[in-house]
Amino acid sequence: MRGLSVALVAPLSDADATVQSMEDASPAKWHLAHTTWFFETFVLRDFVAGYHRFDERFPFLFNSYYEAEGKRHSRARRGMVTRPTLDEVLAYRAHVDAGIVAALPRLPHEARELVRLGCHHEEQHQELLLTDILHLMSENPLEPAVWPGARKVPVEMPGPVGWIEHGGGVVEIGHDDPHFAFDSEGPRHKSLLTPHAIADRTVTNGEWAAFIADGGYAEPRHWLSDGWAWVKAEGITAPLYWEQHDGVWTRFGLDGRRAIDPAAPVTHVSLYEADAYATWAGARLPTEFEWEAAAASHDADGGNQLDTAGPVEPRPSLGGPAFFGDVWEWTGSAFRPYPGFRAIEGAVGEYNGKFMSGQFVLRGGSCATPRGHARASYRNFFYPHQRWQFTGVRLAKDL
C-alpha cells in the first residue's frame, strides 16, 4: 500500500509535488507527508516508547484538520511549503515505515487497528493524489500529460439503460462484517425503501453531450436553486476539464487533452449537474440506501479501479450491471449520521462525524480508488458544487 503512493508521484517533479492549485486540493508532497504523519502520531508517538519524531516541526505542517492535535498550518497555504523537498518527504516516509515495520510485531491490538485505519486513510489520499495532480496540470496552460496515454481501441457503444426494479420494503444498510470500515458506515440498521428502479449503468459522455446540446445548462427549470446560482456565478457550461475545439468535445485527463469517448461514463460533474441531468431525463438520483441495496450483491473489487500508477480514467462498461469503479456516483442523500452513530473518543474520532453537514453521499468508487478500498457500505461525501473528483451519475426512478 505504501509503495503505491510513491509510485503515483514518480512522474512528478519537486515543483509538481509542491504547488497547491486550489484550496480544495493539496500538494502531492503534502499527501505523502500527511499520511505518514498519521502513522507517526497515532502509532509511533502513542505506542512506541522512546520514538523520536523525524522532525519536530512536521506536525504543524502536516496535520490536516485534527483540532485535538494542536495548531496546524493553514489549509489554503499548503502550497507555500517548498521545503522540505519531495526527497526529504520521501525520506520521512522511509523513516516512519521502518519504525512501523520494526514495531509491528509488538504493537497492541489497539495500535494495530490504528495501523489498519492508517492504511485505509492513505488509500483515500491516493485517490486525492491523482485528482489533485490532475487539477494542477489542468491549470497549466501547456496542459502537460502526467503519463502517456494508452492507445484507444474503438469500442462498442453501451446499449440503452436497463432498469433494475425493487419492490420496496425493509433492507439492511451499513457495515457489519469483521472487515474494516469507517465509523460513518455504521451502525448497521434497517431502512425502508419504496418501490423504485435503478439504472444498470451510469450516464455516458455521449448522453451528456446530448444534454448540453439540448440547452441543459441554460434552462433554469432543470436546476436546484443553489445549482442555478452556481452555474451563473461560475459560468458553467460543461463538465470540468471539457472544452469544445472545432465542434468536438475534448476532456483533459492524466494523459493530456483528448476527444471525449462517447461510450465512457461522464465524470467531473457536480451534484448540481447530476441532479439537473436527472431532472432533464425525467428521472432522479438514487438514495444512498437504494444504491446500497442494489450494489450489495455485486463484487466490490471488480470493475475499473486503481491497480497500478498510470493515467486512470473511466472506461466504457459493456458487460452488464456494474456498481463499482469508474466513477463515484452522486446520490440524493445528504451525508448525515446513521441511527445510533456516535463519534469515537479522542483525536481519531474527528474522522467523519464532524463533516456531516452540507455534503452529499457518493457511492461505488472510481477508476482512481485503490482496488480493495471500496465496499457496498462505503460512504464518500463532497459538497454539491465540487467536481474535481471522478464523479458521475446513475439514474433512478419511482415505480
CB of 119 to a second copy, least distance (A): 24
Residue 334 lies near a second copy (rule: CB under 8 A): yes
Size of the site for a second copy (CB under 8 A): 65
By C-beta, is 187 or 302 nearer to a second copy? 187
275 binds a second copy (CB under 8 A): yes
Sign of CA dihedral 350, 353, 356, 360: positive
Site for a second copy contains 223 (CB under 8 A): yes
By CB under 8 A, residue 86 contacts a second copy: yes
Which of the stretches 34-42, 117-125, 159-167, 336-344 binds a second copy when contact is defined by CB under 8 A?
A: 336-344
Beta pairing partners, 193: 169
Nearest to 390 by CA among 126, 17, 27: 126
- How would you label 140-172 residue by residue, b for 16+ Cβ within 10 Å and e otherwise? eeeeebbeeeeeeeeeeebeebebbebeeeebe
Binds a second copy (CB under 8 A): choice among 147, 164, 356, 372: 356
Asked if 140 is part of the footprint of a second copy (rule: CB under 8 A), the reply reads yes
Q: How far is the CB of 284 from a second copy (least distance, A)?
A: 8
Contact status: 348 vs a second copy (CB under 8 A) = no
| CB-count exposure of residue 393 (10 Å: 0-12, 13-18, 19+) | buried
Is 297 a binding residue for a second copy by CB under 8 A? The answer is no
68 binds a second copy (CB under 8 A): yes
In the range 2-61, which residues lie near a second copy by CB under 8 A? 13-19, 21, 57, 60-61
Sign of CA dihedral 121, 353, 26, 146: positive
Grid coordinates given for 27: 500538494
The answer to the question of residue 302 lying near a second copy (CB under 8 A) is no
Burial of 381 (C-beta count, 10 Å sphere; 0-12/13-18/19+)? buried
**Cβ atoms of 379 and 186 closer than 8 Å:** no
- The amino acid occupying position 392 is G
In the list 9, 33, 81, 100, the residue contacting a second copy (rule: CB under 8 A) is: 81
Contact segment (CB under 8 A) with a second copy among 190-198, 200-208, 257-265, 309-317 equals 190-198
Give bridge partners of residue 398 from the DSSP assignment: 196
- Residue 28: other Cβ atoms inside 10 A: 27
Q: Which of residues 167-186 bind a second copy (CB under 8 A)?
A: 170
Q: Which stretch binds a second copy (CB under 8 A): 96-104, 191-199, 374-382, 387-395?
A: 191-199
Binding status of residue 339 toward a second copy by CB under 8 A = yes
Angle between the N-to-C axes of helices 271-280 and 205-213, in degrees from 0 to 180, rounded to the nearest 10 = 70
> Could you tell me which residues are beta bridge partners of residue 392?
329
Least Cβ distance, residue 265 to a second copy (angstroms): 23
Beta strands in 110-266, from DSSP E residues, in sequence order = 163-166, 169-173, 189-193, 196-199, 242-245, 248-253, 256-259
Q: Which of residues 254-273 bind a second copy (CB under 8 A)?
A: 271-272
What is the nearest approach in angstroms of a second copy to the Cβ of residue 141?
6
| Cβ neighbours around 346 below 10 Å, total | 11
Binding of a second copy by 398 (CB under 8 A): yes
Radius of gyration of the chain (CA): 21
225 binds a second copy (CB under 8 A): yes
* Distance of closest approach, residue 12 Cβ to a second copy, in angstroms: 8
Residues found near a second copy in the complex (CB under 8 A) = 13-19, 21, 57, 60-61, 65, 67-68, 73, 77, 79-86, 136, 139-142, 144, 170, 189-192, 194, 196, 220-221, 223-228, 271-272, 275, 284, 332-334, 336-337, 339-340, 350, 354-358, 360, 384, 398
